[in-house]
């Protein structure tokens, strides 16, 4: 994918949200070979966006590669970090994926499961737009924070 193929604009306001900043930070943390050195957040996060054209390039059936699996882990690591940042309680993401792209994600805070998602067709993981990515991330975070507020005694165990 070349820079001209990017769908996230360098000046997109969504890049300034806490969620997107954390997503970029998590992706940089996974970059052990400094591939992202000098890259903008927009360029790093651009592969998360699967436009209709990009989705058509991906086969309907397939196994996820390591980059896609890293993006999935990045998403839930970012949500976990934001939970910790807002509550002061440790959030632990558990991602269990088969080589075929099926699995489950849990995020726990203490003994409380604050997020539980089934994963399917991970090789086609992505969001329709930057706005949808931010919206989904904010929904997951809000839902987790609501559960922690509802059951604080379980979250503190």
- Residue 116 CA to residue 93 CA, distance in Å, equals 10
Alpha helices in the chain (DSSP H): 18-30, 41-45, 52-57, 66-87, 130-150, 152-155
Beta bridge partners of residue 119, listed in sequence order: 103
- What is the mean predicted confidence (pLDDT) over 14-33? 93
Tell me the pLDDT band of 136, cut-offs 50, 70 and 90: very high
pLDDT one-digit tens code per residue, 140-150 = 999 999 999 99
- pLDDT tens, residue by residue, 51-88: 888 888 887 787 888 888 899 999 999 999 999 999 99
Quote the pLDDT of residue 93: 97
Total length of the chain: 157
Alpha-carbon gap, residue 35 to 86, rounded angstroms? 31
- CA 68 vs. chain centroid, Å, equals 11
pLDDT of residue 145: 98
pLDDT(3) > 80: no
Q: What is the mean pLDDT of the chain?
A: 91
Report the sign of the C-alpha dihedral through residues 30, 38, 65, 107, in that order.
positive
Q: Residue 99 carries which DSSP code?
A: T
What average pLDDT does range 41-58 have in this prediction?
90
Note the CATH architecture for domain 12-155. Answer: Orthogonal Bundle (1.10)
pLDDT at 55: 85
Question: Is 137's pLDDT higher than 80?
Answer: yes
- Whole-angstrom Cα Rg for the chain: 16
Q: Percent of the chain at pLDDT above 90? A: 68
Provide the CB-side half-sphere exposure for 82 (13 A, CA).
Answer: 25
Domain ranges of the chain: 12-155
């Amino acid at each position: 994918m070349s820079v001209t193929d990017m769908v996230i604009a360098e000046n997109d306001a969504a890049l300034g949200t806490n969620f997107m900043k954390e997503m970029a930070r998590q992706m940089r943390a996974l970059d052990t070979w400094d591939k992202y050195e000098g890259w903008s957040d927009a360029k790093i996060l651009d592969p998360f966006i699967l436009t209709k054209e990009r989705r058509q390039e991906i086969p309907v059936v397939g196994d996820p590669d390591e980059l896609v699996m890293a993006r999935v882990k990045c998403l839930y690591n970012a949500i976990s970090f934001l939970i910790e940042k807002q509550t002061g309680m440790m959030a632990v993401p558990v991602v269990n994926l088969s080589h075929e792209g099926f699995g489950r994600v849990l995020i726990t805070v203490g003994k409380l499961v604050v997020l539980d998602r089934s994963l399917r067709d991970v090789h086609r993981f992505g969001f329709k737009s930057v706005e949808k990515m931010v919206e989904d991330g904010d929904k997951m975070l809000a839902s987790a924070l609501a559960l922690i507020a509802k059951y604080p005694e379980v979250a503190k165990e």
